[in-house]
Structure 1
Amino acid sequence: MGEIPQQQEHILCLLPFPEDAKILDRLRQKYNVEITYKQIFFGVGKALELAAVPDETWHHATILVTLSSFPPSAEQAKNLKLIHLFSAGTDRLSNTPIWKDTKIPITNSSGVHGPQISEWVIMQILSHSHKEKILVEWQKKHVWGDYKQLGSMRDCVGQRLGVLGYGAIGRQAARICKAMGMDVIAYTASPRTTPESRKDEGKYIVPNTGDPDGTLPSAWYSGLDKESLHNFLKQDIDILLISVPLTPQTRHFLSAAEFEILGSKTNAFIINIARGGIINQDDLITYLKKPLSEGGLRGAALDVTDPEPLPQDSELWTLENVAITPHVSGLGTTYAERSFAILDANLENIEKGRDLINLVDRKKGY
């Protein structure tokens, strides 16, 4: 008797950019899969449109590749074996029937953002420390400015970077900052007390980036309770990089008490590339306006806010020591290629009976 042929996988892609024929053809040829691609359009400040997907297409799909479009009910996509997210965070998914009513494996795109977001982080550190805002204004006005107006400027050597969430982004930022002469300390949800536990395993890593073995931090801290967090924040942190996922435990993880520690110790500079809801924004504004002599914060660079888009009347826009960008630090021409590389690796893992990479832990929420 001959072998029973395996069912052909049907990959349904619902993504906010045009399809890349090269990438999709490579997957078709390598795995003999059927692919349906639908581009979802969205505008600035608008949510992604709900994809107009016929019931028959949902029923036929065995793998869903998406940013934030999901089947209205678990029953409509009863043949789904895998969902691959084009984002690192799962907050767009956590209230859907797929999350609550199924056990379908979910993988994310953690790791694809490491290089470009880390470059944004370094840009903000240098822009703030070298008074780039003032220099740009001088150029606009054709002014050869007086250097004394710039005040004191400090380079990065000897400064301490505290990385709140030591994932792909935090590890790549640590790699660059370490090369600039900075000290790095890391904070994770769970303890990483052994060399093995500090490795970045089971995740997608862009080649030649990050800290795969977890050897860069001079010290590691952990916990989801405020006492543990405060112990970390008291370690003379000059720059705090926020790169944790938004979960019920991390919402408003940083509020007045935390900014008080950071302000009183080092007048820290805050960088948020994660989610706006991790910060109590009103408290942040209070400490950004507070004089440095009274424990205020040096400044902040925010690629994310709460809400998004940031309302035009938000006081954040007017603060001189704040840089705001509209959630764009992760953009890059290689984004889709890297995210599909994760799917490619997992299709091979499925074929060979191996564990999936970038598998989301529903209990942790990431």
Structure 2
Amino acid sequence: MLPGLAEESADWGGRLEAAVAGLRVVRAESLGAAAEVIGAADAAYGVLPAELLERAERLRWLQAPQAGPAPEFYYPALVEHPVVVTNMRDTYTDHVAAHTLAMVLAMARGLPRYVRDQQTATWAPDWDPGSVLALGEASALVVGAGAVGAEVGRLLSEFGVAVTGVDARITQAPKGFVAMRPVDELDELLPTADIVVLTVPHTPATEGMIDAARLKLFKPTALFVNVGRGPTVRLDDLAESRLGGIALDVFETEPLPSAHPLWSRPDVLITPHVAGAGPHAAERRFAVLLENTRRFLAGDPLINQVDKAQRF
């Protein structure tokens, strides 16, 4: 029984029942409706508030509808509960990686400046060699070498960038990386990087990991990109920093307040949390749900399991 399918997945219940013999799916249209059926549910898809968890007498699996749900998804009672939580990670890796590369390339070639000049019909070519970052001579630090980070590093390496990864769990260098380093070496690595890309999830350990102290360790010419989660970077500290370029798709506060100084900085490239946009997203999420449903009924290990205390 899978109560609580999201609106985008209105037909998923029927598709699951057709694909998996012996499965019964209940779509709960409201919190009240979910409360009536959750007690008999073995599994659920969606967000499970505390008042529903209290009624979930049989629940053994909860499939989160996102790769990185909001922090409040993992409230203390859910963390302590024996229910296994899985998420939707690696369903839009290619989209986020392509978006990241577009940001890096735009900054490396000074395109944000020329886009601004275009708005005022200003012809101002910059032939200063220092205005361009030669990627074949550059080094990058990819902080977070999971699915997205690994693909970002691979793409950067195709342009000749020497890519080093930093991760709390991953020790083996993904394709295209020259090395992997533990998180406790981040401070000594930051001053060496021409490009710093942040792809880490929002966890208790990563919240505010890029702050004023760490920003002072960056090269003054470094390019910084955040496509992971907004709360990992202190925006006010970033607004006061001086770097070669800043590209952000996620923000500590969303939407980014219209009066925030980052909007008007000429060295900042902003996109409104759209790095994951692209085709096939719903079908990819359904594929994860279908695979885990089959595994759940067969008693096999589920994919995309989450460490609830760490939120990833």
Instruction: Give the TM-score, by structure 2 length.
Output: 0.88
Equivalent residue for 1:231, pick from 176, 188, 197: 188
**Aligned: 1:34 with 2:24:** yes
Name the structure 2 match of 1:65: 45
Question: Residues 1-366 of structure 1: matches in 2 within 5 Å?
Answer: 10-17=1-8, 19=10, 21=11, 24-32=13-21, 33-37=23-27, 51=31, 53-66=33-46, 68=47, 70=49, 72-90=51-69, 91-95=71-75, 97-100=77-80, 102-141=81-120, 143=121, 145-148=123-126, 152-190=131-169, 192=171, 198=172, 214-223=174-183, 225=184, 228-234=185-191, 236-264=192-220, 267-287=221-241, 296-366=242-312
* Structure 2, gaps ≥5 residues long: none
> 2:75, 2:190 → 1: CA distance?
32
Amino acid in the other structure paired with 1:98: L
SS at match of 2:308: coil
Q: 1:46 — aligned with what? A: none
Q: CA deviation at 1:81?
A: 2.2
Deviations 1:23-78 (A, max 9, x none): 55442212132334467xxxxxxxxxx85544213334332222x45352422222
**CA 1:144–1:320 in 2, change beyond 3 Å: closer, same or farther?**
closer
Displacement after TM superposition at 1:191 (Å): 6.1
* Contact 2:117 2:124 (8 Å CA) reproduced: no
TM-score of the aligned structures, taking structure 1 as reference length: 0.76
2:3–2:34: 8 Å Cα contact kept in structure 1? no
Q: Cα–Cα, structure 1 residues 243 and 345, in superposed 2: closer, same or farther, change >3 Å?
A: same
RMSD: 2.5
Would you say the 8 A contact 1:163–1:186 is kept in 2? yes
SS of 1:261 mapped into structure 2:
coil
1:14–1:51 contact (8 Å) kept in structure 2 = no
Q: Is the 8 A contact 1:28 1:34 kept in 2?
A: yes
Q: Percentage identity across aligned positions?
A: 25
The structure in which a higher percent of residues are helix is: 2
Deviation of 1:132 after TM superposition, in Å, equals: 2.6
Q: Once the 2 structures are TM-superposed, how far is the Cα of residue 319 of structure 1 from its aligned partner?
A: 1.0
Question: 8 Å contact 1:11–1:61 — kept in the other structure?
Answer: yes
Secondary structure at 1:99's aligned position in 2?
helix
Mapped partners of 2:127, 2:72: distance in 1: 45
